[in-house]
A and B are shown apart, each in its own frame.
Chain A
Amino acid sequence: MSELERSYRRLLRAYPGFYRRERELEILTTVLDAAEPGQVRPSRGEAAALLLTGLRCRFVPPTRAGKLATAIVAVWAALVLSGAGALAVWAFADPEPPRLAALSDDLVGRDPSVTYELPGDNLLDMAYAYKTHSEFQDYANEGWTGRHPAPMGESRIYERVTPTPTALADAYRRVTSAGWRAGARSPGAFWAYRDGVLLRVSGSGEQTGMRVSAYPIEPRGVLAGAIAGFVLGLIVASQAMTWLAHRVARTPLPTRRLIVLLGLPALVASAVNTLDCVLSMLPDPGTANVLFAADYMYPLANQLANPLAAGVIALTLTAVVALTARAARRRPANAAALADS
């Protein structure tokens, strides 16, 4: 194999596998026919044309319907994979809910009336449900401007700590004098940080009692993991959908109509699920919710909690692949070259 041919074969790898199987030799023959005698390297124009057309073949589906379907499914898949990327970073960081017991009872000076837990062992459950807990409803108004909590930890409620509604103010004094770096004191609650533990102290029972909660700081790099997952998802999913669109474009019209009919609910499910994930992740304007690192796992958590959309999509894709495979088997091999698209 000459040096020129080797270079051209490398450039041709920009084209997807299914295209190369049919056309690589033909295109290679053409460029070698067109080469000057003694040429060692592909001209820049030829190289650029091959790269661009190859990538276009890989990522851009042939028909308008194919482009729409690819865009919808690729965005949905990328979103779900971004959730997986965020989950990977969380799992690697593996934050531990801090031990609250001794710390908190010392602070208040007695045993709690009630304790409960926000479990942190299942990260996806946490991402899906943490917003329903009252501790995070008013976050933006509670005067904490430091790093956000990972919404996992323990809470202890102490009833009737003071006879008058001064429990929260007392707690603030005690916490700051014990060496915690506290945020501004808001009427309902305040946050404080020391040694990797984020404390939330709120009043209860009309400020005669207190609730003390402790959380770890959310890990760094979750957004980067989510972005990496999203980009990877786009790259993989758009190539897969383009491959599928090419196959669909070659199936005979009756099968193609059936495929469109089957595909429509899956596309609707993808689009709706994407919208649902994005709207659920973003904090509602007008509320005091804030985007936490935990929210980046939501798109993945959503698929597990509401598997209908993912199920419909997976089943439909399987059915479409099966239909195109059956149609391809029915066609003779040289007709495949003729109907080349």
Chain B
Amino acid sequence: MQEPTFFILTALVRTPLHGYGIIKAVEQLSGGRVKLKAGTLYAALDRLAAEGLVVVDREEAVGGRLRRYYVLSDDGRAALEAAVERLQSNAKVAALRLREAFGFIGGVQHV
């Protein structure tokens, strides 16, 4: 799973979000590192929807504009949990080796 996709799924964990909402949430969650462009966002959403990880919650048509709200499906939540576990165990393996070799004491938990 690539980093933008990971953050999109993370952003959709709590409440349904629309396109711009996702872009803002991803930027905030990644500490300003991942700034999604609309093209990339919708390509990722198409892929996630095709895989059944994300579904449309509702649509709002207001004043000539259309906002679709996306939310994580059960499969999506399971996929994100699996990705988190994978990343955590990968990080633990690397941290262990670094600690043994160089006395690295990383792996601090962010709140």
Q: A residues touching B (Cβ–Cβ < 8 Å)?
A: 23, 25-34, 45-46, 48-54, 56-57, 62, 249, 337-341
| B19 adjacent to A29 (CB under 8 Å) | yes
| A26 adjacent to B39 (CB under 8 Å) | no
Give bound CA distance, A50 to B42, whole Å: 9
| B39 adjacent to A46 (CB under 8 Å) | yes
Stretch at the interface among B60-68, B77-85, B87-95: B60-68
| B38 adjacent to A30 (CB under 8 Å) | yes
Q: B residues touching A (Cβ–Cβ < 8 Å)?
A: 18-20, 23, 37-43, 46, 49-50, 55-56, 59, 65-68
* Complex contacts, B65 vs chain A, CB 8 Å: 25, 28-29, 32
* Nearest-CB residue, chain A, relative to B65: A29
In the A-B complex, the 9 residue pairs with the smallest Cβ-Cβ separation, listed nearest first, are: A49-B39, A30-B19, A49-B37, A33-B20, A53-B39, A341-B50, A25-B66, A29-B65, A50-B39
| A33 adjacent to B39 (CB under 8 Å) | no
A26-B68, A30-B18, A32-B65 known; A46 vs B49 contact (CB < 8 Å):
no
- Nearest-neighbour CB distance to chain A for B18, whole angstroms, equals 7
- Nearest-neighbour CB distance to chain A for B38, whole angstroms, equals 5
| A49 adjacent to B40 (CB under 8 Å) | yes
- Nearest-neighbour CB distance to chain B for A56, whole angstroms, equals 7
Give bound CA distance, A52 to B65, whole Å: 24
* Complex contacts, B20 vs chain A, CB 8 Å: 29-30, 33-34
| B19 adjacent to A62 (CB under 8 Å) | no
Contact with A27, one of B42, B50, B56 (Cβ below 8 angstroms):
B42
| A340 adjacent to B38 (CB under 8 Å) | no
Give bound CA distance, A163 to B71, whole Å: 97
A49-B38, A53-B43, A56-B43 known; A30 vs B23 contact (CB < 8 Å):
yes
- Contacts beyond the supplied A25-B65, A29-B18, A46-B37: 8 A-B pairs with Cβ under 8 Å: A23-B42, A27-B19, A27-B38, A33-B19, A48-B37, A338-B49, A340-B50, A341-B50
- Nearest-neighbour CB distance to chain B for A30, whole angstroms, equals 3
A45-B37, A49-B38, A340-B56 known; A26 vs B67 contact (CB < 8 Å):
yes
- Nearest-neighbour CB distance to chain B for A333, whole angstroms, equals 12
* Complex contacts, A29 vs chain B, CB 8 Å: 18-20, 65-67
- Nearest-neighbour CB distance to chain A for B8, whole angstroms, equals 13
| B49 adjacent to A34 (CB under 8 Å) | no
Give bound CA distance, A56 to B55, whole Å: 23
- Nearest-neighbour CB distance to chain B for A44, whole angstroms, equals 10
- Nearest-neighbour CB distance to chain B for A91, whole angstroms, equals 43
Give bound CA distance, A25 to B19, whole Å: 11
A25-B66, A338-B55 known; A62 vs B39 contact (CB < 8 Å):
no
Give bound CA distance, A56 to B50, whole Å: 16
Give bound CA distance, A89 to B50, whole Å: 46
* Complex contacts, B67 vs chain A, CB 8 Å: 26, 29-30
* Complex contacts, B38 vs chain A, CB 8 Å: 27, 30-31, 34, 46, 49-50
* Nearest-CB residue, chain B, relative to A54: B39
Contact with B49, one of A26, A30, A52, A340 (Cβ below 8 angstroms):
A340
Contact with B46, one of A33, A34, A341 (Cβ below 8 angstroms):
A341
Give bound CA distance, A50 to B49, whole Å: 19
Give bound CA distance, A30 to B70, whole Å: 13
* Nearest-CB residue, chain A, relative to B57: A338
- Nearest-neighbour CB distance to chain B for A79, whole angstroms, equals 31
* Nearest-CB residue, chain B, relative to A51: B39
* Nearest-CB residue, chain A, relative to B60: A29
* Complex contacts, A48 vs chain B, CB 8 Å: 37, 39
| A52 adjacent to B46 (CB under 8 Å) | no
* Complex contacts, B41 vs chain A, CB 8 Å: 30
* Complex contacts, A51 vs chain B, CB 8 Å: 39
